[in-house]
Amino acid sequence: MDKVNLAAKFALFADYWHPRIVGELNGQQVKLVKFQGEFIWHTHDAEDELFLVARGRFRMDLRDCPIWVEEGEFLIVPRGVEHRPVAESEVHLLLFEPATTVNTGDQAGERTVEQPERL
Amino acid sequence: MDKVNLAAKFALFADYWHPRIVGELNGQQVKLVKFQGEFIWHTHDAEDELFLVARGRFRMDLRDCPIWVEEGEFLIVPRGVEHRPVAESEVHLLLFEPATTVNTGDQAGERTVEQPERL
C-alpha cells in the first residue's frame, strides 16, 4: 500500500489528452490527465465521470450550456450526457471513473487511448 | 449538473469525524471530512477507501507500519485492511468510496455516522 503524491505523478508526463492510471479501487480508477485546447464531443453510455481540477481551469461544453471548472472544483458528468472538455491554457485534472471508461466514449478514433499507462 | 467547490463545501461545517456527501457517481460517493485526534481501529470488509488530503496532513495507522499522508497526496486502503486515521492538527480530506461504506466499518458504535448529510 503506497500513498500517491499528485504533483510527483503529474511531473512524470507532459503530453496532452493521455490519461494515466494512478489508483484503482472498487472497480473504479483514479487517472491524471493534462490538456490544452479542445477535445471531441462524446458520450459515455454506462459511466459517470468526475473531473477534479488540480491546476488551472477548463470549460466543460455541454449541449445546453458550458460550465467553467476552476482549480479546487470538480464536476460530475452523468452517463449519457454529451460533453467536450476545452482549456485555453494547460490544465491538470484528476479523474474518477469506472475502469471500463474509454476517454473518447462512443467516438472511438485517433484520440482514443485504449490502454492507459499505469504510473 | 453543478460543479462543486471544495473550499466552499468545507466552509459549511466544522465538526470532526462527520463525513458529508458532496457527489455521487457509479454507486460511489465523494465525501468531505475534517478531523483532529485519533479515530478507532476498524475494517471495511467489502469496500476499498480513498483518502485525499485537501489541507493539512494525517497519519494512517496500519498494523504493520503507519503512513503519513500529506496535502496533495492520497492513500487507498484496500478492503479487509485494519486501519486508524490520526491527525495531530486539523486535516481536511476528500473520500472516495462505495455508497455502502460506513465510517466505522466493522466497529459500529458511538462514532458511527449512519446517514451522512448531503451538502
Residue B45 lies inside a defined structural domain of this protein: yes
Confidence of residue B92 (pLDDT cuts 50, 70, 90): very high
Q: Which three cell numbers stand for residue B21?
A: 456527501
A chain contacts of residue B77, beta-carbon cutoff 8 Å: 1
Q: In this prediction, what percent of chain A has a pLDDT beyond 90?
A: 97
Rounded to an integer, what distance in angstroms lies between the CA atom of residue A119 and that of residue A42?
A: 26
Report pLDDT for B81: 97
Residue A83 lies inside a defined structural domain of this protein: yes
Residue B70 lies inside a defined structural domain of this protein: yes
Report pLDDT for B76: 98
Residue A109 lies inside a defined structural domain of this protein: no
Distance from CA of A83 to the nearest CA of B (A): 12
Distance from CA of B72 to the nearest CA of A (A): 6
Beta bridge partners of A70: A57
CB–CB contacts below 8 A, A to B: 86
Query: In Å, how far from its chain's centre is CA B46?
Result: 16
Contact A6, A54 (CB under 8 A): yes
Q: Is the pLDDT of residue A1 over 90?
A: no
Domain of B43 in residue numbering reads as: 22-98
| ipTM (interface pTM) | 0.95
Residue A36 lies inside a defined structural domain of this protein: yes
Residue A22 lies inside a defined structural domain of this protein: yes
Please identify which residue in the block is written with the cell numbers 468510496.
B97
Q: What count of other Cβ atoms lies within 10 Å of the Cβ of residue B67?
A: 18
Q: Is the pLDDT of residue B1 over 90?
A: no
Confidence of residue A74 (pLDDT cuts 50, 70, 90): very high
Q: In this prediction, what percent of chain B has a pLDDT beyond 70?
A: 100
Q: What count of other Cβ atoms lies within 10 Å of the Cβ of residue B65?
A: 8
Residue B9 lies inside a defined structural domain of this protein: no
Number of domains in chain A: 1
Q: Which three cell numbers stand for residue A99?
A: 475502469
Q: Which three cell numbers stand for residue B93?
A: 480530506
Q: Is the pLDDT of residue A114 over 90?
A: no
Q: What is the CATH number of the domain that holds A19?
A: 2.60.120.10
Region for residue A44 given its phi and psi (left: phi exceeds 0; alpha: psi -120 to 50; beta: otherwise) = beta
Q: In this prediction, what percent of chain A has a pLDDT beyond 70?
A: 100
pTM recorded for the entire structure? 0.96
Rounded to an integer, what distance in angstroms lies between the CA atom of residue A90 and that of residue A34?
A: 7
Contact A52, A22 (CB under 8 A): no
A chain contacts of residue B43, beta-carbon cutoff 8 Å: none
Distance from CA of A48 to the nearest CA of B (A): 6
Q: How far is residue A59 from each of residues A6, A10, A53, A62, A64, measured CA to CA in Å?
A: 22, 20, 11, 9, 13
**Mean pLDDT taken over chain A:** 96
Interface contact A78-B4, CB threshold 8 A:
no
Contact B118, B21 (CB under 8 A): yes
* Tens of pLDDT, residues A20-51: 999 999 999 999 999 999 999 999 999 999 99
Residue B37 lies inside a defined structural domain of this protein: yes
Report pLDDT for A97: 96
Report pLDDT for A62: 97
Q: Is the pLDDT of residue B13 over 90?
A: yes
Report pLDDT for B114: 85
Collapsing DSSP states into helix, strand and coil, what is residue A1? coil
